[in-house]
Structure 1
């Protein structure tokens, strides 16, 4: 009888899979559209002198010449926002979910280069030429990368491509190293203290198994890169598609494309997820 009870308990335990932390997959509905609306209104209301938002912090134009903001016109109506990284005079990389999710589909993208703000200034190029990774999964954001093609843009002090990892850098995991995430997104999950200009944050890359234990093996795969967000720092709403870069010998290398945070928000203290660029180098280079 005891044996039957034990076997029954084991059977019950095995029949209930572990519940992992859900990630946010409805990006446009929950993050991109509301954030774009907020930024449009904030920019319209702010007194901007080209270097500072009144009541905010100074921002130096050209500090991150490889980042480009994205304004995404959706087929369902409305405008969303994302980030991207300039790879050449005609190519950028972003997150695939910036173009397509389960609930939304992009119609066109306006790429904003050389600007601290999304709705004004800089060089602005509209395109419909976006190629998603063929194995992109909208349910778990695996293979969350896409290439954007634009008309040629000339490099300046404020517009410049970021390098892709090469040589030994292609084989590093970057675990334990600091990398810099850049984006136009929120500074916190709620409230009015949002990012009206470009911000950056230094993050530590962590082992994938730490992320797997939180988000589960269907979300965290070899081509995922995770960063520690303890202390409530990290990427947030509106930062999707933007760069995570690693500085080596005074050269910045793109090692991650901002992909996801916990569904509970960016201040939950849970790891942030990126598409690991070294896992997609062959795919990227074939499209440059």
Structure 2
């Protein structure tokens, strides 16, 4: 009888899905080394590659709401994320860009209207970040934050992105093609060209049930949104960026697989419709 029980338990263990782990502790693993690489690239004027996986070079009119984040950490290091402009004084990003459970930012510089991160554009400093009260850096659940900045005027290159409203609050956006921009790296090989200029890519939203084939259901909760495209997605340095369709932000870049960003795994976003009321309260 004991042998039968052992065999049954062994068979159950074999049948249990082997879920893909997600990246945690973003800054030391990704953001800090990427900020250094992007800065070196800009200083050397090495503009021959891309960052967003499978993307193309952007123009300012492609995503005038995009804001680069240069984060000055309490450790003294410099890190990088993406974000999006919501109003003249508010920026939307991922909570882990401000605090990933191990590394915390003390202040940030928001870069608007620029194809480059460390030079050009309109810049505002801030030390004011409001993270969603239920944010958990151990799971990246509720990975949303709003930053307060000094007043920014709008023009052709700097404009806010809208939030879902009305019927779209009940939209799961399954099958939607949405755009994301970023300065993040092109792929997992560090020898790739290091052009740090802004790039943009279109991504396809998949059902959460399909995303759960790759990541555990405890990771892909209802307040998540996933995309999956062949060799297209976000990569190191793109976290916090806005996934946009029909001139509204539907996702905030939250996580990729630990296996890498060009291995054809889904990309995880915070589903903005789950947080609209809270976000509006911060505006």
Match of 1:172 in 2: 171
Mark the runs of 5 or more structure 2 residues left unpaired by the alignment.
51-55
Matching residue of 1:192: 192
Paired residues for 1:177-256 under 5 Å: 177-190=176-189, 191-229=191-229, 231-247=230-246, 252-256=247-251
| Residue 215 of structure 1: how far off its partner (Å) | 1.1
Q: Is the 8 A contact 1:188 1:194 kept in 2?
A: no
Residues 84 and 242, structure 1, Cα contact 8 Å, conserved in 2: yes
Deviations 1:148-186 (A, max 9, x none): 000111111111100111111111111111111111111
Shift of 1:195: 4.3
Matches within 5 A, 1:72-151: 72-151=71-150
In structure 2, the partner of 1:259 is 254
2:270 equivalent to 1:271: no
Match of 2:9 among 8, 11, 14: 11
Contact 1:186 1:193 in 2 (8 A): no
CA distance, structure 1, for counterparts of residue 276 and residue 105 of structure 2: 25
- TM-score with structure 1 setting the length: 0.91
- Equivalent-residue separation in structure 1 for 2:238 and 2:163 (angstroms): 20
Higher RCO (C-alpha under 8 Å, 6+ residues apart):
2
After TM superposition, give the deviation of residue 5 of structure 1 in Å: 2.9
Deviation for aligned residue 1:135: 1.0
Q: Conserved in 2, the CA contact under 8 Å of 1:92 and 1:149?
A: yes
Cα distance in 2, alignment partners of residues 228 and 58 from structure 1 = 21
Q: How does 1:7-86 map to 2 (within 5 A)?
A: 7-12=5-10, 18-46=17-45, 53=47, 59-86=58-85
Counterpart CA distance in 1 for 2:117 and 2:49 is: 18
Give 1:234 shift.
Answer: 0.5
Give the match's secondary structure for 1:148.
strand
Structure 1, gaps ≥5 residues long:
48-52
CA RMSD of aligned residues (A): 1.8
Post-superposition Cα deviations, 1:45-80, rounded to whole Å, max 9, x if no partner, equal 117xxxxx4677764223211000000000012100
Count of residue pairs brought into register by the alignment = 276
Q: Secondary structure at the match of 2:222?
A: coil
CA distance in 1, matches of 2:71, 2:234: 19
Secondary structure in 1 matching 2:82: strand
SS of structure 1 residue aligned to 2:244: strand
Task: Determine the structure 2 residue equivalent to 1:50.
Answer: none
